[in-house]
Amino acid sequence: MKLPELTNWSQYWEQLRIALLQPQVDKSVLESSLREAQSKLPVPVLWLLGKTQSGKTSIIRALTGSEAAEIGNGFQSCTRHSRFYDFPVIAPVIRFLDTRGIGEVSYDPAEDMQYCESQAHLLIAVMKATDVNQASVFDALHAIRQRHPEWPVVLVQTGLHDLYPKHQEHITPWPYGDDTLPADVPTDLRRALQAQRNSLGTLPGFAPMRWVAVDLTLPEDGWNPPDYGLQALWQAIESLSSLGLQHLLSDDKAVHDLYARTAHQHIVGYTLAAAGLGALPVVDIVAVSTVQAKLLHSLAQLYGQRWDNNTITEFLGLAGVSMITGYVARTLSRAMVKVVPVWGQTIGAIWGASASAATTYALGKAAIYFFTQRKNGLNVDAEILREVYADAMKRGAELLKDRLQSQSR
């Protein structure tokens, strides 16, 4: 099937400008499409199991870089004893399932297991170092692993500084990786951590488990570093799963500040949403553009910038014809190739997902450069903007490829 000739650039330019400023799509259709798209690229779930005040929210804050207040406002109930937190909220990269009330009520994990069975990817048991009574948490772990012996478990011990002697600072380098804790760990803390580790015994099942000790505080609390043990926690998560979550939540190649890290997380979420939509027939050409417009709106808001007609015109002008040519060509070919019988529903769907992911990721990264320069009162270099876009096109496609590979394992 021959693509239409891309000759009337003023028309395409105007259509793209309107699509990015005021995308027109039925909200119910978009929401339905996003649900279907998410089923193709399901959001990984980390199940946080632990007593109230054990430090679960601190773990979410440390892994995502979100403020505690933002997290607290984002939880939604899903079962009698559990609630979930999607991050980012609009286009999530990850879902945290938080089980509440263990140790305070008679907890039966059956209902939560049923909720998680089609989506849980990793179980994280959280226990405060000062709390010696973890029987309710251990009982729940045993029940879960009896039913799901294939679920790996990270066991996180929190609040280390509560057992430090006076004037004690964090020990560096982090010394809690061995089964037998070294002598330089304060005596009371070493005994408490070892007692919890010894009390668990042997879990049913064959999937591995890892112990990690962390002290995750706020900067104003005065402990340095405030994310003590976070890298060890990331290593445990990455070693027990194939999800590549650290890369999705913090792109080391591009993240230089909190703005960029937060923007990256939004870009990844919207990229995966666009990829799922791109694999669907018919609806994607409008829906994907809408998702991309929402991404650019959210990035503008994050950087405190206006996203209006003048800003969009400036952005597109700096992007140049070559960048817009590629964008329009991919948009049209993505839509048309999928209507070819049989072939279009297989290879075409893969192409649609890849093209949607690549263009969404690239638009987001180009927008970060654009908004950062404007926020700092600097000129936007058109050549650099186009280089950022071109480089991000490749990385967006790779991100989707990595995500699909992790699903197939």
How do residues 272-292 score in pLDDT, each as one tens digit? 888 777 665 555 556 777 788
Provide the percentage of residues in the chain whose pLDDT is more than 70: 74
Tally of residues, the chain = 409
HEC profile of 44-58? CEEEEEECCCCCHHH
Residue 118: closest CA among 48, 42, 50: 42
Q: Which of 64-68, 126-130, 340-344 has the least mean pLDDT?
A: 340-344
What pLDDT is stored for residue 4 in this prediction? 43
DSSP helix, strand, coil percent of the chain (3-state; round to 5): 55, 10, 35
What pLDDT is stored for residue 316 in this prediction? 83
How do residues 316-338 score in pLDDT, each as one tens digit? 888 876 566 556 555 555 444 44
The C-alpha angle with vertex 24 and arms to 19 and 25, in degrees rounded to 5, equals: 125
What pLDDT is stored for residue 329 in this prediction? 53
Instruction: Name the most confidently modeled range: 314-323, 336-345, 384-393.
Output: 384-393
How do residues 194-233 score in pLDDT, each as one tens digit? 999 998 878 898 999 999 999 999 889 989 999 999 999 9
2: confidence class by pLDDT, cuts 50, 70, 90: very low
Strands (E) across 142-219 are located at 153-158, 209-213, 215-216
Cα–Cα distance, 66 to 87 (Å, whole number):
9
- Confidence check: pLDDT of 375 > 60: yes
20: confidence class by pLDDT, cuts 50, 70, 90: low
Q: Which of 20-29, 340-349, 359-368 has the least mean pLDDT?
A: 340-349
Tokens of 114: 């049923």
Tokens 């027109």 locate to 24
Task: HSE, CB side, 13 Å, CA atoms: give it for residue 355.
Answer: 26
Domains of the chain: 9-40+250-408 (no CATH), 45-242 (3.40.50.300)
Give me the mean pLDDT over the 82-101 stretch. 83
Residue 80: closest CA among 110, 37, 60, 35: 110
Biggest CA-to-CA distance, the chain: 76
Residue 171: closest CA among 120, 112, 214: 214
